[in-house]
Amino acid sequence: MDFQVSARKWRPQKFSELIGQEHIVRTLSNAIAMDRVSHAFLFSGTRGVGKTTTARILARVLNCETGPTVDPCGTCSLCREITAGNCIDVQEIDGASNNGVAEARDLIDNVQYATSSARYKIYIIDEVHMLSKSAFNALLKTLEEPPPRVVFIFATTELIKIPETILSRCQCFEFKPLSNAQITKQLALICGQEKIQIDEKGLVEISKIGAGSMRDAQSLLDQVIAYSGKKVDTDSVEAVLGIVGGTTLELFAQRLIQREPSELITVVQDVVNQGKDLHLFCQSVMEYLRNLLMVKVSSSPETLLNAQTCNLEILKKQAKEFHADELQQMFTILSRAEMEMKNTSLPQMVFEMAILKLTETRPFKKIDDLIRKINQAESNVQSIRPSPPPPSLSPPSSPPRSAADSFDPAAWIKIRQEVSRQRPDFDHYLDKCQPLAPNEKEIQLAFADSFTLEMVKTLENRKFIEDVVRSVSGHEVRVTLKLDAAADSPAAASEPKKKTTNDGGENRQKTESEIIQDALDIFGGIVVK
């Protein structure tokens, strides 16, 4: 078997072959040229961006028989030994499994001995953040007064866990995540050399999922090649990576234009049934919305689109159907959902709820309209409550029956502001509830659907909302969570509220809820219904 994984086979062997870390290469090269090599380096950055690779190159740079040189020969015995990982003077240590003080002491003892054949004795410690506190302490003295010709190279994905005392004794380099373009270019190069036929669309998809990590992208490429052989088409890329293709996204956007909640949910279910990754689908929809926005705001959007899988003509046509601020609202809703999906055992439900919310977005209203409406709302509140008391949870006694249960809009606005300040993720649950105050001591939150009610009912959420209500009202209040009897129908949960135009002739309850909504429009910043 001569199969070698791409990440290993195509590992850069020289500084000039490193991708995306030019700032580091330049600094290191200058240090070598001026013979001012630090005795301790710390390389930090996300996985698969070249930290260990750079450490090995640096080992060759320092120890090559023709060196120290920024361009090691690659053929001398030391270069070859270092590349093969069996050079006795270049030790690679896994910090995760050698993290105790005993291992650190062994290392320090070993440091004292002269090199056997190389110029420098080099210790590459990977995952160095895993060392125990006492192991770090044991290392400190050696780092302070290292024996001559000893170089430590530490690598970590978690810079924050490295003690300040260590950081201050190292020359630190931060490795950047690679851009999709950099990864795509490298994958194209590998495929060219390996005689793999694949189009750019496929490479772009792989790069995107690699998310800045060259190593991850290369192993995804290996998987795709293992699946389809030397001829790779976009379908097999999508199948292996579990991603949803452009056609599905176009269809999804079309359903969004038509505001068809049930059709949108059907698309989601199809995606799940095909075994695709819902989380990736959410990200793809976000990207699609972004592309629609770019098409909307730019006269030459071609260069701004970040997925070659999009059909520009269709994008242009669909973009006309959305307002720019609607697209932004939708993007915000999905980015919230995307975060929540990571922390729940029910990601599909979270995603579906978010999608239903997408169909309820509306363009922002003009600020003049809002001011006019809020003035109107204030005078309406005055008429319900002739002498307004300081913010309290319920209106004064003897109001009309329908208003008896209603809730002071000012207090509700304060509650919403406090909720969105403390827990932006929680805020949208309250979009689906009607606040009621049957008496001074109680507030009832009536939710439009049972899913939202259940989410809010969890112990943690329940305590949170109770605390906020108490802190806003300033006294003990009982918070009751219930299902809104009026809204408790499947239609209410799955369809946007269709506002009719007969604004004036509704009953008192309707007027009140509209007042709250108008106020929310201004103070909450986003019009969601």
Q: How many residues does the chain have?
A: 529
CA distance 448 to 465: 17
3-state secondary structure labels for all residues of 113-172? CCCCCCCCEEEEEECHHHCCHHHHHHHHHHHHCCCCCEEEEEEECCHHHCCHHHHCCCEE
- 370 and 517 Cβ atoms separated by less than 8 Å: no
- Is 65 or 325 the residue whose CB approaches Zn ion more closely? 65
DSSP string across 399-432? --HHHHT---HHHHHHHHHHHHHH-HHHHHHHHT
Q: Given the complex with Zn ion, which of 73 and 188 has the nearer CB atom?
A: 73
Question: Residue 72 or 177: which CB sits closer to Zn ion?
Answer: 72
Q: Is 243 in a helix, a strand, or coil? A: coil
Minimum separation from the CB atom of position 80 to Zn ion (A): 8
CB nearer Zn ion, residue 82 or residue 187: 82
Whichever of 118 and 225 has its CB closer to Zn ion, that residue is: 118
Provide the minimum distance between the beta carbon of 9 and Zn ion in the complex, in angstroms, as a whole number: 20
Q: List Cα–Cα distances, 277 to 249, 269, 296, in angstroms.
A: 14, 11, 29
Q: Of 529, 438, 418, 417, give the one whose Cα is nearest residue 482.
A: 438
Q: How far is the CB of 14 from Zn ion (least distance, A)?
A: 11
Burial (0-12, 13-18, 19+ Cβ within 10 Å), 73: middle
Nearer to Zn ion by C-beta: 14 or 317? 14
Tell the smallest beta-carbon distance from residue 35 to Zn ion (Å): 18
In the complex, minimum distance from the CB of residue 110 to Zn ion, in angstroms, rounded to a whole number: 24
Nearer to Zn ion, 110 or 117 (CB): 117
In the complex, which residues of this chain contact Zn ion (CB under 5 A)? 64, 72-73, 76, 79
Give min distance, CB of 89 to Zn ion, in A: 13
| CA-wise closest residue to 527 among 516, 336, 349, 412 | 516
Min dist. Cβ of residue 82 to Zn ion (A): 9
Nearer to Zn ion, 58 or 519 (CB): 58
Our CB check for Zn ion shows the closer of 28 and 456 to be: 28
**Contact by Cβ (8 Å): 448, 433:** yes
Enter the tokens of residue 1.
């078997």
Q: Smallest distance, Å, CB 147 to Zn ion?
A: 24
* Number of neighbouring beta carbons within 10 Å of residue 504: 6
Q: Largest Cα–Cα distance of the chain, in whole Å?
A: 96
Find the shortest distance in angstroms from Cβ 13 to Zn ion: 10
- Reduced 3-state DSSP string for 282-341: HHHHHHHHHHHHHHHHCCCHHHHCCCCCCCHHHHHHHHCCCCHHHHHHHHHHHHHHHHHH
Q: Is the dihedral of CA 20, 23, 27, 30 positive or negative?
A: positive
